[in-house]
Homo-oligomer: A and B are copies of this chain.
Amino acid sequence: MNARIVDIETVDLRFPTSRELDGSDAMNPAPDYSAAYVVLHTDHPEVPEAHGFTFTCGRGNELVVAAIRVVAERARGMAVQEIADDLGGFARHLAADSQLRWLGPDKGVLHLATAAVVNAGWDLAGRLAGKPVWKLLADMPPEAIVDLVDWRYLRDELSPGAALDLLKRAEPGRAEREAELLHRGYPAYTTSAGWLGYDDAKLRRLCEQAVADGWDSIKLKVGADLADDQRRCAIAREVIGPDRKLMIDANQTLGVDEAINWHRGLAEYDIHWFEEPTSPDDVLGHAAIQRAIGPTRVATGEHGQNAVLFKQFLQAGALGICQLDACRLAGVNEAVAVLLLSAARGVPVCPHAGGVGLCELVQHLSIFDYIAVSGSLENRMVEYVDHLHEHFLDPVRVREAHYLPPQRPGYSAEIHRESLRRFSFPDGAEWA
Q: List residues 97-118 of chain A with CB under 8 A from any CB of chain B.
A: 97-112
Q: Which residues of B contact A156 (CB under 8 A)?
A: 255-257, 285, 288
Contact yes or no, B255 A98, CB < 8 A: no
- Is there contact, CB below 8 Å, between B108 and A107? yes
Whether A345 is near chain B, meaning CB under 8 Å from some CB there, is no
Q: List B contacts of A70 (CB < 8 A).
A: 59-60, 63
Is A170's CB within 8 Å of the partner chain B?
no
Output the least CB separation between A118 and chain B (Å). Answer: 17
The answer to the question of A30 belonging to the interface, with a C-beta cut-off of 8 Å to chain B, is: yes
Q: Mark A270-288, 1 if CB is under 8 A from B, else 0.
A: 0000000011111111001
Counted per complex, copies of this chain come to 2
A32 at the B interface (CB under 8 A): yes
Residues of chain B with a CB closer than 8 A to A285's CB: 153, 156, 308, 312
Asked if A102 and B63 make an inter-chain contact with CB atoms under 8 angstroms apart, the answer reads no
Q: Tell me if A56 and B284 are in contact (CB < 8 A).
A: no
Contacts A156-B288, A285-B156; A108 near B99 (Cβ below 8 A): no
Q: Which residues of A56-78 have CB atoms within 8 Å of chain B's CB atoms?
A: 56-60, 62-64, 66-67, 70
A303 CB within 8 Å of chain B = yes
A63-B63, A105-B252 are known contacts. Are A57 and B281 too (CB-CB below 8 A)?
A: no
Contact of A103 with B98 in the complex, beta carbons under 8 Å: no
Tally A residues with Cβ within 8 Å of B: 60
B305 adjacent to A99 (CB under 8 Å): no
Within the assembled complex, what's the spacing in Å between the Cα atoms of A110 and B67? 12
Q: Please indicate the chain B residues that have their CB under 8 angstroms from the CB of A223 in the complex.
A: none
CB distance from A7 to the nearest CB of B (A): 21
Q: Does A152 count as interface, using CB distance less than 8 angstroms?
A: yes
The answer to whether residues A27 and B110 also contact, given A282-B153, A308-B281 and a CB cut-off of 8 A, is: no
12 A–B contact pairs at CB < 8 A?
A28-B101, A30-B98, A32-B99, A58-B99, A60-B67, A63-B103, A63-B110, A103-B109, A109-B110, A281-B305, A284-B316, A285-B312
A sample of 18 more A-B contacts (CB under 8 A), given A28-B101, A105-B279, A283-B312, is A27-B98, A27-B101, A28-B99, A29-B98, A31-B102, A57-B98, A57-B100, A63-B63, A63-B67, A63-B103, A103-B112, A105-B252, A107-B108, A108-B110, A109-B110, A281-B312, A282-B312, A283-B283
